Amino acid sequence: MNETTNFNDILKKSFLNDFMFGNLSVIDILLGLLTAFIAGALIYIVYKYTYRGVLYSPSFNATLLVMTMITCLVIMTISTNVVLSLGMVGALSIVRFRTAIKDPMDVVFMFWAIAAGISSGAGLYFLTFIGAGVIGSVLIVLSRKKHTDTLYLLVIHYTEEAADEVRKELQNLDHTLKSKIVRKNVIEQTSEVRLKIDNTAFMSRLNEIEGIRDVSLVQYNGDYAV
């Protein structure tokens, strides 16, 4: 019985000494934060270069850089103290983020920032740089492949007399009807059109049709709500 007790005491002491209170040198801390900063800066540049949404948010992009460094700091903190790591799990489980993410690609960049922070905080510097280079290259290639054309919303207000001419003009475009509202003699039609950059000569032709009130063209990211 005493031997068992002594063995348990030895095991507890070993656990406490080896895992409870670890130490990080100043060099390790600076290297981790520097690696996180470089990876976050790369994420910042790639996000700005590949963004194809309606309204670019500099604050969200800056958040990605800072998030990488904060995640690195959290990982370094919990790696030195097992009690803190268990407490951090409980603390983070009650955090709720209620900011709406409209573009699915924003979620990808957020996970990328968190993963880069985790790997740099764990001291896996080469993994952080290699992963950042590969992921950044993939995102740049996908952004070029996907956005050869640009999506727009075409909004036209016209009278019943111009309906046939509008229909003929839209047949020459790659368009999809999104909504059509009739108010007495005025029709509001919203269509999704896919255009090459600066290929908007059709708007002048539409505007010259008798019965057209106005023509509007707005770039958007594919999300449409009625």
pLDDT of residue 149: 64
pLDDT of residue 82: 60
Q: What is the CA angle 188-189-191, rounded to 5? A: 155
Q: Full-prediction pTM beyond 0.85? A: no
- pLDDT tens figures, 159-182: 888 888 888 887 777 777 888 888
- Closest by CA position to 118, among listed 85, 152, 74: 74
DSSP H or E stretch at residue 146: helix 125-146
Query: Taking a C-beta distance cutoff of 8 angstroms, is the pair 127, 32 a contact?
Result: no
Residue 50 pLDDT > 50: yes
- pLDDT tens figures, 28-45: 888 888 999 999 999 999
CB atoms near residue 82 (< 10 Å): 16
Every domain of the chain and the residues it spans:
2-146, 150-219
Q: Looking at the domain covering 150-219, what would its CATH class be? A: alpha beta
Among 10-14, 74-78, 123-127, 201-205, the range scoring the smallest mean pLDDT is 10-14
pLDDT of residue 163: 80
Q: What percent of the chain has pLDDT over 70?
A: 71
Query: Taking a C-beta distance cutoff of 8 angstroms, is the pair 220, 158 a contact?
Result: no
Task: Give how far the C-alpha of residue 224 lies from the chain's centroid of Cα atoms, to the nearest Å.
Answer: 18
- Contacts (Cβ under 8 Å, ≥6 apart) of 189: 155, 156, 158, 166, 177, 179, 180, 181
CB atoms near residue 111 (< 10 Å): 10
Predicted confidence band at 191 (pLDDT cuts at 50, 70, 90)? Answer: confident
Residue scoring higher pLDDT (67 or 77): 67
Which 8-state DSSP code applies to residue 38?
Answer: H
The mean pLDDT of the chain is 76
pLDDT of residue 11: 45
Bridge partners (DSSP) of residue 153 are 192, 218
- Contacts (Cβ under 8 Å, ≥6 apart) of 64: 40, 43, 44, 47, 109, 110, 112, 113
Rounded alpha-carbon distances, angstroms, from residue 151 to 53, 117, 156, 214: 10, 34, 16, 20
Predicted confidence band at 226 (pLDDT cuts at 50, 70, 90)? Answer: very low
Q: Could you give the angle at which helices 26-50 and 58-79 cross, rounded to 10 degrees?
A: 150
